[in-house]
Amino acid sequence: MNSNPKNATSVKKYGLALHTASRELGLAISNFDGDSRCETWNLDRDLATHLHQYLVDFIQPQTWADLAFIAVAKGPGGFTGTRIGMVAARTLAQQLDIPIFAISTLAAFAWTSPSPSGRARGHRPYKEDVLNDDIALQMPAQRGQLFGAVYSVNKNSGLTELFPDTVMTPESWQEKLESWENSYQLIEVPSELGSSVSSVLELAYLEWQMGIHSDWSDAFPYYGQHPVKGH
């Protein structure tokens, strides 16, 4: 972990994000100064075959040398897709010698989701007021379990993790929510998540601005469950 920030106005000024934790591939790139783009593709089982070519095509007209950092959705999500995205992101970060930010799939969706007033937070939502309600997220997991997490939104620091991404039974999750002391907004996370790659990038950028620069060797996926029953 390196806490010595680089100059964000240097030649390497773009951030690139990958989201492969669902059947959708999501890619986003931005210089956080008016030049941003984001795309998603439903590649499903073809992800491993085509990821490299999609990356090469998407990044143009920028080059790998323009990148200041890499961000990647670390899960929870599909085991194979999450692993493929993490390996690709770690490899890029290592070869380019730039920081990597592994962002929770649930955290990214919390950042993407609409506010209680029904207004989507959209690009750079951290400039808005802090939401009063905590955000509880649940997502189906294997073997009748689910992933649950609770976050709060802060206009300056992004998200604060109040209850970490955890796999549990629906009954245990319900007990957790019933005992939660603050008011909360419960959100069901959908199966297609590629479009939340822009939130992965924005949350990574917040860490980048704070000088939190993680080495490629510090980035790990979060699976929560072993893909084979009994493990």
Q: What phi, psi does 223 have (nearest 5°)?
A: -95, -40
Does pLDDT of 78 surpass 50? yes
Q: List the chain domain ranges.
A: 14-104+192-218, 107-188
What pLDDT score was predicted for residue 131? 53
What is the CA 188 to chain-centroid distance, rounded?
16
What pLDDT score was predicted for residue 7? 45
What pLDDT score was predicted for residue 132? 62
Q: What phi, psi does 185 have (nearest 5°)?
A: -105, 120
Domain 107-188 coded CATH 3.40.50.10800: no
Residue 90: CA count within 13 A, CB half-sphere:
14
Q: CA-CA-CA-CA torsion for 18, 22, 24, 26, nearest 10 degrees?
A: -20
Does pLDDT of 3 surpass 60? no
Take residue 10 and report the two structure tokens written for it.
Answer: 């240097």
Q: What is the pLDDT of residues 144-153, one digit of tens each?
A: 999 999 999 8
What pLDDT score was predicted for residue 158? 78
CATH code of the domain made up of 14-104+192-218: 3.30.420.40
Q: What is the pLDDT of residues 23-48, one digit of tens each?
A: 999 999 999 999 999 999 999 889 99
